[in-house]
Structure 1
Amino acid sequence: MKRFWLGVLAIIIVCGAGFFAYAWKPAIDPVEPPQRSSFDPALIEKGAVLASVGNCTSCHTRPGEKSYAGGLAVPTPFGTIYSTNITPDPQTGIGRWSQAAFDRAMREGVDREGRHLYPAFPFDHFTRVSDEDNRALYAYLMTRQPVNNPPPPNELPFPLDMRLVLAGWKLLFFDRGAYQNDASQSTQWNRGAYLVDGLGHCGACHTPRNRFGAEEKGSHMAGGEAEGWTAFALEGTSPAPIPWTHDSLFAYLRQGWHADHGVANGPMGEVTGNLGRLPDADIDAMATYVMSLMGEPSAERTAAARAIRGRAPAAPDPASTAGVAPTSADTPAARGAVIYQAACATCHDGSRPPPFGGINFHLSSAVNAPDPQNVINTVLFGLPAASGRPSAIMPGFAATLKDDQVNDLLAYLRDAFAGKPAWQDAAARIADTRSGKYQVSVRPSDGIERGPDNVGAKDR
């Protein structure tokens, strides 16, 4: 028996030593911060476009603070992670990072000092970025204004506060390597896949995650969550009443809205705002790739969309819509009909199309979705105006509607426009959203965050 336990101990020691050898990463020597003149201006400009594709500013900038200076609290199911400073400040940023150190962070999720990075930084997508694009990103970031700003320490429980644990996460879930073209697909499709699955890291929001925070295998783009919002499925289970087409998706990504699908809200507003720097050819490629995931709609869904188009131009009469009780009845849907008529119908009656008029709710993915979170967010917090240019706008009703009134409104929207029963968990979600349990990000299409607790924050 003694020999048995000695053998077990020996195996544990060997396995532990092997894991430590796998997990340990050496530091990369620091360098002097490179001068702007050492970079080709064209490379810097290319990096600026790529940083927009990667949406880098959204995580690495606190609202109202200097761009890329970090310190933004990123809530996760495991605790709060604070984004790092990626300005070229030599003390608190990446000013002493070489190109090799930057490449390792993107490819392997390991910083210059050899510490494993938390996957809140989506290195599982960034690993696919090409060497050429990494050089451009490095040139852009190293020519930003240096900002001395150390981020707060992460707020994670033991043992998740030990970065060595992340090596185990990578061993289980991380597939390292640059994107490889699929020879069976077109050049356009491959370009779209590279942008969507790589630097764009769309799956980080639009793919469900397992209990360990890793994207579910086999559920690519099947829908997920991001910053208090539901990120709808971008494959065959999309809840869009009117199926997406290549042209509608291209227009939505290009301009932040489409008449059949409404205006980008929440984190997606920032995404479409940043994609404005991409050329049409790249937006076209992204639409081509995503549409290949969605596939052709079924005959049943096509027929349903045709029926929706037949009744979508005008909002239903809340006193006579089939399935909704008369407004004198004391039911949630009936009470909600009155609220809709008073607060919503003026903009959502179909007489003024998006983006400056509200979408007719027959066409709304949010109203047809399996959960009510996006409708709740929009009703409570609205859609802020963009800065310095015309944009879609909607007032938030958090200060004027009580929780039970929001719940009644949702019951009416769900019944009258989607023909579906009310969401069972709507009341609890409304209360949790208002309380701040769900840390909801609210942004206009220009990408400047104005969350529920920081409306009016300065532009970045």
Structure 2
Amino acid sequence: MSFSWIFRRRTLGGAAAAGLGGALAALALAWRPVIAPIPVPPPSSFSTDQVARGATLADIGDCSVCHTAEGGRPLAGGRPLATPFGVLYSDNLTPDPDTGIGHWSPEAFKRAMKDGIGRDGAHLYPALPYEHFTHVTDADLDALYAFLMTRQPVHAEAPANRLIPPLGFRPLLAGWKLLFLHKGPVPFDPSHSAEWNRGAYLTEGFAHCGACHTPRNLAGGEEGSRAYGGGVAEGWRATALDASNPAARAWTRDALYTYLATGISPDHSAAAGPMGPVIKGLSTAPEADVRAIATYIASKMLGREAAEPSPTLIDNTAAAAKAYTAGATLFAGACAGCHSQGAPMLGQGRPSLSLASNLGDGDPTSAIQDLLQGIEPPVAGRGPKMPGFADSLTDAQVAEVLAYIRARYTNRPAWPGLEKAVRVTRKEGAEP
């Protein structure tokens, strides 16, 4: 037996031992204990005030939006969420003992919200934005728990997730959390008002605005260095909420409050897409909390207000019609009745298209979605309604209309590759 053979065998053995040790260390890192089930707590065990406070936090946090399937019972889960990594289905948050959280203790609930760990010890996917909920207080989580535990139990099993292999292996999430789950309270900033600090707590915590309005890296983590620089939400472009915000008129605190409370700002535009349900929740939240959120977000956009307080409305009708003849014709037939100067419906809470943030954005995604899917008032009886044209306009026609509208109502350069962008957006809108 040669010395080299013995050396190789020892080297391979050492490598195998090191690999096994690394695997065991990784499993130890990922392992979390099961928290024992409890009897389903009776609704009478929670105070009326605590339940009411939890209801408010649930509205601010949009819980029912993600945890209610189309046509399903409120908070019973099963709603699909398309991600770059596959499709996830939301969990049942009702106190059903078999398919919901009926047997979860307050400790199990708080661990899920702050650490992303289920009662059974399994890692939860960050579609549950525990990146943000980890910053909220235990008292507020107890109130949210009280609200959920007093809902009507619904027996509803969520469908199995459909993820790209090996992402269905939940222990991998332990490594993701080491990189992207940053715990700790939202710092109180004494240089700002109490209202601003309340807004910071709500925005960074329950409202989790950065989950949509911040770019994400290839691993799905928020890019902290570009916080509120714009992101993606359910196939829509989530507009930047920093100084790069593309609105024609700078957002003020009061304009933001009006928009968040009603879904429309006369100096900007109307809420559409995923913002609709957000507005619906905030419309029932306490005015002080909504104003606090508006105050905090407005401070993120500082730098624009002094530069562009109130620009002149733009309408390059002749030049746009010459450049995009087909788009001008389509606009006259489908859009002019509501959006052209002098249109009878233009003054009924319908801002000029020159003020629409989506038209000024460098990314056409949300403008495309507006035209394909239309706009529904998020709060009954408030704001304009626009039909969708997905079934009546081809990709080429949608691109023509949008190219014309962009040229007519903004001074921004044309969107490149617009027809392809329409085709991709339409396809993504049809998923999952």
TM-score range, shorter chain: over 0.9
Is 1:402 matched up with 2:417?
no
CA distance in 2, matches of 1:241, 1:384: 23
- Residues 1:158 and 2:165 are matched in the alignment: yes
TM-score, with normalisation over the residues of structure 2?
Answer: 0.93
- Residue 58 of structure 2 aligns to a residue whose secondary structure is helix
In the alignment, structure 1 residue 360 sits paired with structure 2 residue 367: no
**Where in structure 1 are there 5+ consecutive unaligned residues?**
441-452, 454-460
How many aligned positions are there?
A: 424
1:263 is paired with a residue whose SS is coil
Question: Secondary structure of the residue that 2:20 maps to in structure 1?
Answer: helix
Which stretch of structure 1 is more off in the superposition, 20-29 or 109-118? 20-29
CA shift in 2, pair 1:386/1:238, >3 Å: closer
Q: Is the 8 A contact 1:355 1:392 kept in 2?
A: no
Q: Encode CA deviations 1:184-243: one digit per residue, 9 max, x unaligned.
A: 433222111111110101011000110001111201000001011100000011011111
> Superposed, which structure 2 residues align to 1:286-325 within 5 Å?
286-297=293-304, 301-302=307-308, 306=310, 308-309=311-312, 311-312=313-314, 318=317, 321=318, 323-325=319-321
Moved more, 241-250 or 392-401: 392-401
| SS in structure 1 of the partner of residue 232 of structure 2 | strand
Q: Does 1:431 align with 2:423?
A: yes
Question: Are the aligned partners of 2:262 and 2:382 in contact in 1 as well (CA < 8 Å)?
Answer: no
Q: Does structure 1 retain, via aligned residues, the 8 Å contact 2:95–2:153?
A: yes
Task: Say if 2:277 is the partner of 1:270.
Answer: yes
Q: Is the 8 A contact 1:263 1:354 kept in 2?
A: no
Aligned-pair CA distance for 1:357 = 4.6
The whole-number CA distance in structure 1 between the counterparts of 2:197 and 2:18 is: 45
Paired residue type of 2:198: R
Structure 1 residue 296 displacement after superposition? 2.5
Provide the alpha-carbon RMSD of the alignment.
2.1
Aligned identity (percent) is 43
Please report the TM-score for the alignment, with normalisation by the length of structure 1: 0.87
Unaligned runs of 5+ in 2: 1-6
Q: Distance in 2 between matches of 1:12 and 1:271?
A: 47
- Using the alignment, how far apart are the partners of 2:349 and 2:295 within structure 1? 28
Q: CA deviation at 1:118?
A: 0.3
**Residue number in structure 2 paired with 1:373:** 365
Q: How does 1:234-273 map to 2 (within 5 A)?
A: 234-273=241-280
Say whether 1:134 aligns with 2:160.
Answer: no
Q: 1:247 to 1:144 in 2, by over 3 A?
A: same
User: 2:26 maps to what in 1?
Assistant: 19
Please give the alpha-carbon distance, in whole angstroms, between the structure 2 residues aligned to 1:325 and 1:258: 28
TM alignment of 1:33-432, pairs within 5 A: 33-297=40-304, 301-302=307-308, 306=310, 308-309=311-312, 311-312=313-314, 318=317, 321=318, 323-326=319-322, 333-351=324-342, 356-384=348-376, 389=381, 391-432=383-424
How far apart are 1:5 and its partner, in Å?
4.2
Shift in Å, 1:254: 1.6
Deviates more, 1:274-283 or 1:116-125: 274-283
Distance 1:262 1:146 in 2: 39
